[in-house]
């Protein structure tokens, strides 16, 4: 494991190692057991997109691991003034031990890995969000004990979160159903890769425009905001298109009786999910948010130790 850019880059064994390590680190954190595994290590954090969970969880994670983090706003470094990703990668590699980047273009992350000489972590791109998916698997495992054979149903835009969930779920031997309207499907390459992977792990992939078909018997119900950063001008149109995919009591009734609800946040009640669901007894979104910290610490330890 040299980088964490996509779930497609790691093996099922490496994924399980990350989940087990994340659970150990969470236990130590909650019991105030010091684990300065990365003492003397420095992580550079490039943010072309603003963030709450990603920035705080990585900064706190590096602190708890005994290391140091540097917040690098793209407008504060030469990358934002036209310096190439290639040159940025080469320069930063001489100063720091790893780079986490949250940006728009997925190719920028791949170029950092190609031209730099330190581990690269994908904090989010328009194509994928693997750190979120790892925290999601950790949360599901905590509440369901096992992953293999479970069904996750995702509703709404086939975006970066959905793409990474396709990879993550099929790598874990899970069944994933994605309900999204025509024109807002998941990336075709991600669907193909996940489908091929499912053959080896016993999972499956279902793409449908019927939200009730996706929800049928699901162990995990998942949704995300309909309007991602940079799509604000499309809000009215997106609300009209996605309203049939809202996660509400009707969707939850189709799921398994002990189903849990996940949302990567930020959430907009009354749009992609009702207050009744996200604030209800089946919601585990706050565990999910916390697990971003522990899951990412596992990635940091694996790459930077």
Q: Where are the domains of the chain?
A: 7-129+289-304, 132-286
Residues 6+ apart with CB under 8 A from 15: 7, 134, 137, 168, 171, 172
| pLDDT value at residue 291 | 98
- The span from the CA of 34 to the CA of 37, in Å, is 9
Q: How many CA atoms lie within 13 A of 105 on its CB side?
A: 6
Distance of CA 57 to the CA centre of its chain: 13
| pLDDT interval class at 231 (50, 70, 90) | confident
From the candidates 219, 292, 294, 296, give the one annotated as an active-site residue. 292
Residues 6+ apart with CB under 8 A from 13: none
- Respond yes or no: is residue 292 known to be catalytic: yes
| CATH (one of 3.40.50.1370, 3.40.50.150, 3.40.50.300, 3.90.550.10) for 7-129+289-304 | 3.40.50.1370
From the candidates 3, 53, 106, 129, give the one annotated as an active-site residue. 129
- Respond yes or no: is residue 240 known to be catalytic: no
- Respond yes or no: is residue 129 known to be catalytic: yes
CATH of domain 132-286: 3.40.50.1370
From the candidates 131, 169, 190, 264, give the one annotated as an active-site residue. 264
pLDDT surpasses 90 at 170: yes
pLDDT surpasses 90 at 230: no
From the candidates 132, 197, 246, 296, give the one annotated as an active-site residue. 132
pLDDT surpasses 80 at 278: yes
| pLDDT interval class at 50 (50, 70, 90) | confident
- Respond yes or no: is residue 24 known to be catalytic: no
- Respond yes or no: is residue 264 known to be catalytic: yes
| pLDDT value at residue 82 | 80
User: Is residue 173 within 8 Å of 147, Cβ to Cβ?
Assistant: yes
What is the per-residue pLDDT across 20-30, written as a single tens digit (0 to 9) for each? 999 999 999 99
| pLDDT value at residue 228 | 79
Question: What's the whole-model pTM score?
Answer: 0.96
From the candidates 224, 238, 246, 296, give the one annotated as an active-site residue. 224
Write the DSSP string, 37-67. TTTT-EEEEEESS--SHHHHHHHHHHHHTT-
- Respond yes or no: is residue 53 known to be catalytic: no
Residues 6+ apart with CB under 8 A from 106: 122, 125, 126, 127, 128
Residue % of the chain over a pLDDT of 70: 99
| pLDDT interval class at 80 (50, 70, 90) | low
Strands 204-208 vs 175-179: parallel, antiparallel or unpaired: parallel
| pLDDT value at residue 72 | 94
From the candidates 3, 41, 53, 102, give the one annotated as an active-site residue. 102
For 211-221, what is the mean pLDDT? 98
The token pair that represents 270 in the structure block: 């009354």
């Amino acid at each position: 494991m040299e980088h964490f850019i996509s779930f497609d880059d790691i093996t099922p064994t490496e994924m399980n190692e990350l989940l087990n390590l994340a659970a150990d680190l969470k236990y130590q954190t909650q019991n105030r057991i010091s684990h300065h595994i990365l003492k003397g290590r420095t992580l550079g954090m490039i943010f072309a997109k603003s963030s709450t969970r990603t920035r705080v969880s990585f900064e706190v994670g590096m602190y708890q691991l005994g290391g140091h983090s540097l917040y690098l706003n793209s407008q504060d470094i030469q990358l934002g003034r036209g310096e190439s990703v290639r040159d940025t990668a080469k320069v930063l590699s001489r100063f720091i031990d790893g780079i986490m980047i949250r940006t728009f273009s997925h190719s920028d992350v791949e170029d950092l890995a190609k031209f730099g000489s330190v581990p690269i972590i994908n904090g989010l791109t328009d194509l994928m969000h693997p750190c979120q998916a790892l925290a999601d698997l950790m949360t599901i495992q905590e509440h369901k004990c096992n992953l293999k054979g479970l069904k996750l149903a995702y509703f709404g835009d086939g975006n970066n979160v959905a793409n990474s969930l396709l990879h993550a779920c099929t790598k874990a031997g899970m069944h994933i159903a994605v309900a999204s309207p025509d024109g807002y499907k998941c990336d075709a390459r991600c669907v193909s890769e996940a489908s091929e992977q499912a053959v080896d792990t016993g999972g499956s992939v279902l793409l449908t425009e019927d939200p009730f078909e996706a929800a049928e018997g699901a162990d995990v119900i998942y949704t995300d905001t309909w309007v991602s950063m940079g799509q604000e001008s499309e809000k009215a149109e997106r609300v009209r298109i996605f309203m049939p995919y809202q996660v509400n009591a009707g969707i939850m009734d189709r799921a398994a009786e002990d189903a849990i609800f996940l949302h990567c946040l930020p959430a907009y009640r009354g749009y992609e999910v009702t207050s009744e669901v996200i604030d209800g007894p089946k919601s585990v979104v706050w565990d999910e948010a916390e697990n971003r910290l522990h899951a990412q610490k596992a990635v940091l330890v694996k790459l930077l130790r």
